Amino acid sequence: TIDLRKRKVNKLRASLTDLRDGMKASVRESNLCLKGICLNHLADAKLRVSSEDISVTLLDSLNKETLSSQLSDFKLNLKGEGWLNDMEGKLHLDVDKALFSMGGTAYVNEELQKKDKILKIDMPFKANLDDLDFTLSDASIAIVDYVISLEGNAKLATEEHPLMVDATFETNKWQISDLLPLIPFDIKGMMPKGMNLDAAILLKGKACGSMTDTTMPLVSANIQLTDGRLNYREVIPYEVRRINGDIDAILNLSDEGVSSAVVNKLTASVSKSILKLTCRINDLLGNLMADVNLKGNLHLPDVKPFIPKDLGLEAKGKANVNLNLKATLDQITNLDLKSMNLKGTIGVKNLDV
Protein backbone atom coordinates (compact mmCIF):
# COMPACT_ATOMS: atom_id res chain seq x y z
CA THR A 1 0.00 0.00 0.00
CA ILE A 2 1.20 3.51 -0.88
CA ASP A 3 -0.72 6.34 0.75
CA LEU A 4 0.37 9.91 0.06
CA ARG A 5 -2.20 12.16 1.70
CA LYS A 6 -0.43 15.21 0.34
CA ARG A 7 3.18 16.05 -0.37
CA LYS A 8 4.17 19.59 -1.31
CA VAL A 9 7.37 21.38 -2.28
CA ASN A 10 7.26 25.16 -2.61
CA LYS A 11 9.70 27.61 -4.21
CA LEU A 12 12.43 25.05 -4.70
CA ARG A 13 15.80 26.19 -6.03
CA ALA A 14 18.32 23.48 -6.79
CA SER A 15 21.26 22.68 -9.04
CA LEU A 16 23.16 19.53 -9.93
CA THR A 17 26.58 19.15 -11.51
CA ASP A 18 27.74 15.64 -12.43
CA LEU A 19 31.14 15.96 -14.05
CA ARG A 20 31.62 12.20 -14.38
CA ASP A 21 28.51 11.78 -16.55
CA GLY A 22 28.76 15.28 -18.07
CA MET A 23 25.46 16.71 -16.88
CA LYS A 24 24.36 20.02 -15.40
CA ALA A 25 20.81 20.69 -14.29
CA SER A 26 18.95 23.33 -12.32
CA VAL A 27 15.44 24.34 -11.29
CA ARG A 28 14.25 27.73 -10.07
CA GLU A 29 11.07 28.68 -8.19
CA SER A 30 9.64 25.17 -8.60
CA ASN A 31 6.49 23.94 -6.89
CA LEU A 32 5.23 20.37 -6.58
CA CYS A 33 2.05 18.90 -5.14
CA LEU A 34 1.50 15.11 -5.09
CA LYS A 35 -1.55 13.40 -3.65
CA GLY A 36 -2.50 9.77 -4.13
CA ILE A 37 -3.12 6.27 -2.92
CA CYS A 38 -2.32 2.84 -4.39
CA LEU A 39 -3.92 -0.19 -2.71
CA ASN A 40 -3.86 -3.71 -4.14
CA HIS A 41 -3.14 -2.42 -7.68
CA LEU A 42 -5.93 0.18 -7.45
CA ALA A 43 -4.65 3.77 -7.69
CA ASP A 44 -5.90 7.35 -7.54
CA ALA A 45 -3.22 10.03 -7.92
CA LYS A 46 -2.81 13.69 -8.83
CA LEU A 47 0.41 15.55 -9.58
CA ARG A 48 0.93 19.27 -10.14
CA VAL A 49 4.32 20.73 -11.05
CA SER A 50 5.22 24.30 -11.95
CA SER A 51 8.53 26.06 -12.38
CA GLU A 52 9.85 29.41 -13.53
CA ASP A 53 12.87 27.75 -15.07
CA ILE A 54 14.17 24.19 -15.70
CA SER A 55 17.57 23.79 -17.39
CA VAL A 56 19.54 20.72 -18.47
CA THR A 57 22.93 20.63 -20.21
CA LEU A 58 24.84 17.54 -21.39
CA LEU A 59 28.59 17.61 -22.06
CA ASP A 60 30.86 15.19 -23.94
CA SER A 61 34.23 13.85 -22.79
CA LEU A 62 35.93 17.06 -24.00
CA ASN A 63 33.52 19.17 -21.92
CA LYS A 64 31.83 20.35 -25.10
CA GLU A 65 28.09 20.98 -24.98
CA THR A 66 26.10 18.33 -26.87
CA LEU A 67 22.60 19.16 -25.64
CA SER A 68 21.11 22.19 -23.94
CA SER A 69 17.48 22.75 -22.97
CA GLN A 70 15.64 25.36 -20.95
CA LEU A 71 11.92 25.54 -20.16
CA SER A 72 10.38 28.70 -18.70
CA ASP A 73 6.97 29.07 -17.05
CA PHE A 74 6.49 25.31 -17.05
CA LYS A 75 3.17 23.85 -15.79
CA LEU A 76 2.28 20.16 -15.61
CA ASN A 77 -0.93 18.54 -14.34
CA LEU A 78 -1.24 14.75 -14.34
CA LYS A 79 -3.99 12.62 -12.86
CA GLY A 80 -4.89 8.97 -13.09
CA GLU A 81 -7.28 6.58 -11.40
CA GLY A 82 -8.24 2.93 -11.68
CA TRP A 83 -6.52 -0.44 -11.70
CA LEU A 84 -2.88 -0.36 -12.77
CA ASN A 85 -3.75 -2.49 -15.80
CA ASP A 86 -6.87 -0.43 -16.63
CA MET A 87 -6.27 3.19 -15.69
CA GLU A 88 -7.83 6.39 -17.01
CA GLY A 89 -6.12 9.75 -16.75
CA LYS A 90 -5.20 13.05 -18.31
CA LEU A 91 -1.98 14.96 -18.84
CA HIS A 92 -1.91 18.73 -19.37
CA LEU A 93 1.32 20.61 -20.07
CA ASP A 94 2.00 24.29 -20.75
CA VAL A 95 5.40 25.79 -21.63
CA ASP A 96 5.49 29.53 -22.32
CA LYS A 97 9.13 29.80 -23.42
CA ALA A 98 11.79 27.27 -24.38
CA LEU A 99 15.30 26.87 -25.71
CA PHE A 100 16.65 23.62 -27.13
CA SER A 101 19.84 22.87 -29.02
CA MET A 102 21.62 19.64 -29.88
CA GLY A 103 24.82 19.05 -31.77
CA GLY A 104 25.22 22.78 -32.43
CA THR A 105 21.75 23.15 -33.99
CA ALA A 106 19.16 25.39 -32.30
CA TYR A 107 15.72 23.79 -32.62
CA VAL A 108 13.89 26.80 -31.17
CA ASN A 109 14.82 29.79 -33.34
CA GLU A 110 14.39 33.50 -32.63
CA GLU A 111 10.98 33.71 -34.32
CA LEU A 112 9.66 30.88 -32.17
CA GLN A 113 11.03 32.51 -29.01
CA LYS A 114 8.92 35.62 -29.70
CA LYS A 115 5.66 33.69 -29.27
CA ASP A 116 3.65 33.94 -26.04
CA LYS A 117 3.12 30.20 -25.57
CA ILE A 118 5.39 27.74 -27.30
CA LEU A 119 3.88 24.40 -26.29
CA LYS A 120 0.54 23.09 -25.02
CA ILE A 121 -0.36 19.42 -24.63
CA ASP A 122 -3.76 17.98 -23.67
CA MET A 123 -3.67 14.20 -23.51
CA PRO A 124 -6.55 12.13 -22.08
CA PHE A 125 -5.45 8.49 -21.94
CA LYS A 126 -6.21 4.95 -20.90
CA ALA A 127 -3.25 2.89 -19.73
CA ASN A 128 -2.15 -0.59 -18.87
CA LEU A 129 0.87 0.25 -16.73
CA ASP A 130 1.83 -3.43 -16.38
CA ASP A 131 2.44 -3.60 -20.16
CA LEU A 132 3.32 0.11 -20.66
CA ASP A 133 0.41 0.27 -23.12
CA PHE A 134 -1.29 3.68 -23.66
CA THR A 135 -4.40 4.58 -25.66
CA LEU A 136 -4.99 8.22 -26.58
CA SER A 137 -8.39 9.75 -27.32
CA ASP A 138 -9.04 13.37 -28.31
CA ALA A 139 -5.42 14.29 -27.53
CA SER A 140 -3.71 17.36 -28.98
CA ILE A 141 -0.26 18.90 -29.20
CA ALA A 142 -0.04 22.61 -30.05
CA ILE A 143 3.24 24.29 -30.99
CA VAL A 144 2.30 27.96 -30.99
CA ASP A 145 -0.91 27.96 -33.10
CA TYR A 146 -0.13 24.77 -35.01
CA VAL A 147 -2.25 21.94 -33.59
CA ILE A 148 -1.91 18.19 -34.14
CA SER A 149 -4.84 16.06 -32.90
CA LEU A 150 -4.04 12.45 -31.99
CA GLU A 151 -5.99 9.20 -31.55
CA GLY A 152 -4.57 5.72 -31.15
CA ASN A 153 -2.24 3.40 -29.30
CA ALA A 154 1.42 3.50 -28.23
CA LYS A 155 3.26 0.67 -26.49
CA LEU A 156 6.50 1.77 -24.89
CA ALA A 157 9.71 -0.19 -25.45
CA THR A 158 10.67 -3.00 -23.09
CA GLU A 159 13.32 -5.71 -23.20
CA GLU A 160 10.82 -7.90 -25.06
CA HIS A 161 9.70 -5.48 -27.78
CA PRO A 162 10.51 -2.05 -29.29
CA LEU A 163 8.34 1.06 -29.17
CA MET A 164 5.19 0.37 -31.22
CA VAL A 165 2.73 2.95 -32.55
CA ASP A 166 -0.67 2.71 -34.22
CA ALA A 167 -2.22 6.18 -34.26
CA THR A 168 -4.03 8.70 -36.47
CA PHE A 169 -3.26 12.41 -36.65
CA GLU A 170 -4.93 15.51 -38.04
CA THR A 171 -3.89 19.17 -38.09
CA ASN A 172 -5.69 22.47 -38.11
CA LYS A 173 -5.09 24.77 -41.10
CA TRP A 174 -1.41 25.75 -41.45
CA GLN A 175 -0.32 28.73 -43.57
CA ILE A 176 3.05 27.90 -45.12
CA SER A 177 4.33 31.50 -45.17
CA ASP A 178 3.69 31.84 -41.42
CA LEU A 179 5.06 28.39 -40.59
CA LEU A 180 8.40 28.48 -42.44
CA PRO A 181 10.05 31.16 -40.26
CA LEU A 182 9.38 29.03 -37.16
CA ILE A 183 11.09 25.92 -38.50
CA PRO A 184 14.67 25.55 -37.20
CA PHE A 185 15.97 24.12 -40.47
CA ASP A 186 16.60 26.31 -43.50
CA ILE A 187 13.66 25.00 -45.53
CA LYS A 188 13.98 27.83 -48.05
CA GLY A 189 17.61 26.86 -48.55
CA MET A 190 16.43 23.39 -49.57
CA MET A 191 14.12 24.83 -52.24
CA PRO A 192 15.39 25.70 -55.72
CA LYS A 193 16.89 29.19 -55.71
CA GLY A 194 14.32 31.89 -56.42
CA MET A 195 11.28 29.74 -55.58
CA ASN A 196 8.62 31.20 -53.26
CA LEU A 197 5.59 29.11 -52.31
CA ASP A 198 2.63 29.87 -50.07
CA ALA A 199 -0.62 27.98 -49.39
CA ALA A 200 -2.90 26.81 -46.63
CA ILE A 201 -2.49 23.11 -45.82
CA LEU A 202 -4.39 20.49 -43.85
CA LEU A 203 -2.75 17.16 -42.95
CA LYS A 204 -4.50 13.95 -42.00
CA GLY A 205 -2.98 10.51 -41.72
CA LYS A 206 -1.79 7.50 -39.79
CA ALA A 207 1.49 6.23 -38.29
CA CYS A 208 1.84 2.50 -37.76
CA GLY A 209 4.80 0.29 -36.91
CA SER A 210 7.79 -0.10 -34.61
CA MET A 211 10.80 2.09 -33.90
CA THR A 212 14.19 0.38 -33.79
CA ASP A 213 17.73 1.15 -34.98
CA THR A 214 16.70 0.28 -38.54
CA THR A 215 12.92 0.78 -38.69
CA MET A 216 10.47 3.64 -38.24
CA PRO A 217 6.66 3.62 -38.20
CA LEU A 218 5.16 3.83 -41.68
CA VAL A 219 3.38 7.16 -42.17
CA SER A 220 0.53 7.57 -44.66
CA ALA A 221 -0.94 11.04 -45.06
CA ASN A 222 -3.37 13.09 -47.08
CA ILE A 223 -2.53 16.74 -47.77
CA GLN A 224 -5.18 19.28 -48.76
CA LEU A 225 -3.69 22.38 -50.38
CA THR A 226 -5.81 25.52 -50.84
CA ASP A 227 -5.40 29.04 -52.19
CA GLY A 228 -1.74 28.55 -53.08
CA ARG A 229 0.66 30.84 -54.92
CA LEU A 230 4.02 30.06 -56.54
CA ASN A 231 6.67 32.46 -57.80
CA TYR A 232 9.59 30.81 -59.63
CA ARG A 233 10.52 33.35 -62.28
CA GLU A 234 13.72 31.55 -63.27
CA VAL A 235 11.51 28.82 -64.78
CA ILE A 236 7.96 30.26 -65.02
CA PRO A 237 7.73 33.96 -65.95
CA TYR A 238 4.29 34.28 -64.34
CA GLU A 239 2.91 33.92 -60.83
CA VAL A 240 1.03 30.63 -60.46
CA ARG A 241 -2.19 31.43 -58.58
CA ARG A 242 -5.22 29.68 -57.12
CA ILE A 243 -3.31 26.46 -56.48
CA ASN A 244 -5.56 23.79 -54.95
CA GLY A 245 -4.54 20.20 -54.44
CA ASP A 246 -5.33 16.78 -53.01
CA ILE A 247 -2.17 14.73 -52.36
CA ASP A 248 -1.57 11.31 -50.78
CA ALA A 249 1.90 10.41 -49.50
CA ILE A 250 3.56 7.39 -47.92
CA LEU A 251 6.73 8.05 -45.90
CA ASN A 252 8.88 5.01 -45.19
CA LEU A 253 11.89 6.24 -43.20
CA SER A 254 13.26 2.78 -42.41
CA ASP A 255 16.76 1.97 -43.66
CA GLU A 256 15.52 0.14 -46.77
CA GLY A 257 12.27 2.11 -47.11
CA VAL A 258 11.06 3.86 -50.25
CA SER A 259 8.61 6.76 -50.02
CA SER A 260 6.07 7.78 -52.64
CA ALA A 261 3.30 10.28 -53.36
CA VAL A 262 0.23 10.55 -55.56
CA VAL A 263 -1.15 13.92 -56.64
CA ASN A 264 -4.81 13.06 -57.03
CA LYS A 265 -5.63 16.54 -58.27
CA LEU A 266 -3.78 19.84 -58.54
CA THR A 267 -5.34 22.86 -60.24
CA ALA A 268 -3.83 26.29 -60.86
CA SER A 269 -4.12 29.48 -62.90
CA VAL A 270 -1.13 30.86 -64.79
CA SER A 271 -1.78 34.28 -66.29
CA LYS A 272 -4.90 33.60 -68.41
CA SER A 273 -4.34 29.83 -68.62
CA ILE A 274 -5.92 27.14 -66.44
CA LEU A 275 -4.07 23.90 -65.66
CA LYS A 276 -5.01 20.58 -64.04
CA LEU A 277 -2.36 18.06 -63.01
CA THR A 278 -2.28 14.50 -61.69
CA CYS A 279 0.98 12.79 -60.82
CA ARG A 280 2.62 9.71 -59.33
CA ILE A 281 6.01 10.22 -57.67
CA ASN A 282 8.30 7.28 -56.90
CA ASP A 283 11.27 7.34 -54.52
CA LEU A 284 10.12 10.64 -53.06
CA LEU A 285 13.14 11.11 -50.76
CA GLY A 286 15.73 9.56 -53.05
CA ASN A 287 16.14 9.51 -56.83
CA LEU A 288 12.75 11.13 -57.41
CA MET A 289 10.93 10.17 -60.59
CA ALA A 290 7.60 11.74 -61.55
CA ASP A 291 4.95 10.43 -63.94
CA VAL A 292 2.76 13.45 -64.72
CA ASN A 293 -0.45 14.05 -66.66
CA LEU A 294 -1.14 17.71 -67.44
CA LYS A 295 -4.37 18.99 -68.90
CA GLY A 296 -5.21 22.60 -69.52
CA ASN A 297 -6.74 25.42 -71.43
CA LEU A 298 -3.82 27.56 -72.61
CA HIS A 299 -4.02 31.20 -73.62
CA LEU A 300 -1.42 31.05 -76.39
CA PRO A 301 0.17 34.50 -75.75
CA ASP A 302 1.14 33.09 -72.33
CA VAL A 303 3.42 30.62 -74.15
CA LYS A 304 5.52 33.36 -75.81
CA PRO A 305 8.24 33.52 -73.08
CA PHE A 306 8.98 29.82 -73.67
CA ILE A 307 9.54 30.25 -77.43
CA PRO A 308 13.11 31.09 -78.53
CA LYS A 309 13.29 34.78 -79.39
CA ASP A 310 15.19 34.18 -82.62
CA LEU A 311 12.12 32.40 -84.07
CA GLY A 312 10.19 35.66 -83.88
CA LEU A 313 6.86 33.87 -83.45
CA GLU A 314 3.70 35.58 -82.19
CA ALA A 315 0.68 33.39 -81.41
CA LYS A 316 -2.91 34.22 -80.58
CA GLY A 317 -5.81 31.94 -79.72
CA LYS A 318 -6.34 29.07 -77.30
CA ALA A 319 -5.10 25.51 -77.03
CA ASN A 320 -6.39 22.45 -75.17
CA VAL A 321 -3.47 20.32 -74.01
CA ASN A 322 -3.23 16.77 -72.70
CA LEU A 323 0.40 15.92 -71.98
CA ASN A 324 2.12 12.96 -70.29
CA LEU A 325 5.55 13.53 -68.82
CA LYS A 326 8.12 11.30 -67.15
CA ALA A 327 11.06 13.13 -65.60
CA THR A 328 13.36 13.43 -62.59
CA LEU A 329 13.19 16.31 -60.12
CA ASP A 330 16.30 17.96 -61.58
CA GLN A 331 14.87 17.82 -65.10
CA ILE A 332 11.62 19.43 -63.95
CA THR A 333 13.12 22.24 -61.84
CA ASN A 334 15.65 23.06 -64.57
CA LEU A 335 12.99 22.76 -67.31
CA ASP A 336 15.31 20.35 -69.15
CA LEU A 337 12.87 19.51 -71.94
CA LYS A 338 15.45 17.60 -74.00
CA SER A 339 15.92 14.99 -71.25
CA MET A 340 12.23 14.56 -70.38
CA ASN A 341 9.99 11.86 -71.84
CA LEU A 342 7.11 14.00 -73.10
CA LYS A 343 4.18 13.06 -75.29
CA GLY A 344 0.54 14.08 -75.74
CA THR A 345 -1.90 16.08 -77.83
CA ILE A 346 -2.56 19.78 -78.37
CA GLY A 347 -5.74 21.10 -80.01
CA VAL A 348 -5.83 24.76 -81.07
CA LYS A 349 -8.73 27.19 -81.56
CA ASN A 350 -8.75 30.61 -83.29
CA LEU A 351 -5.05 30.21 -84.02
CA ASP A 352 -3.27 33.24 -85.42
CA VAL A 353 0.54 32.96 -85.86
**Residues 211-257: pLDDT tens digits?**
998 899 999 999 999 999 999 887 788 899 999 999 999 999 888 88
Per-residue burial over 106-130, b = 16 or more CB atoms within 10 Å of its CB, e = otherwise? eebeeebeebeebbbbbbebbbebe
**Angstrom distance (rounded) from CA 205 to CA 167:** 9
> What pLDDT, on a 0 to 100 scale, did the predictor assign at position 254?
87
**Angstrom distance (rounded) from CA 190 to CA 195:** 10
* Count of alpha carbons within 13 angstroms of residue 97, beta-carbon side: 12
> What pLDDT, on a 0 to 100 scale, did the predictor assign at position 317?
82
Are 4 and 24 within 8 A, CB to CB?
no
Task: Write down the pTM of the prediction.
Answer: 0.83
For a pLDDT cut of 90, what percent of the chain falls above it? 54
Number of H helices, E strands in the chain: 4, 19
Highest-confidence range of 111-115, 179-183, 249-253, 305-309, by mean pLDDT?
249-253
> What pLDDT, on a 0 to 100 scale, did the predictor assign at position 225?
95
- Given a cut of 80, is residue 304 above it in pLDDT? no
Name the nearest CA neighbour of 345 among 281, 303, 298. Answer: 298
Encoded amino acid at 72, one letter: S
- Given a cut of 90, is residue 40 above it in pLDDT? no
More confident position, 130 or 352: 130
> What pLDDT, on a 0 to 100 scale, did the predictor assign at position 14?
93
Summarised one tens digit per residue, pLDDT across range 160-199 is 889 999 999 999 999 998 888 887 765 556 667 778 889 9
> What pLDDT, on a 0 to 100 scale, did the predictor assign at position 91?
96
- Given a cut of 90, is residue 259 above it in pLDDT? yes
**Angstrom distance (rounded) from CA 62 to CA 60:** 5
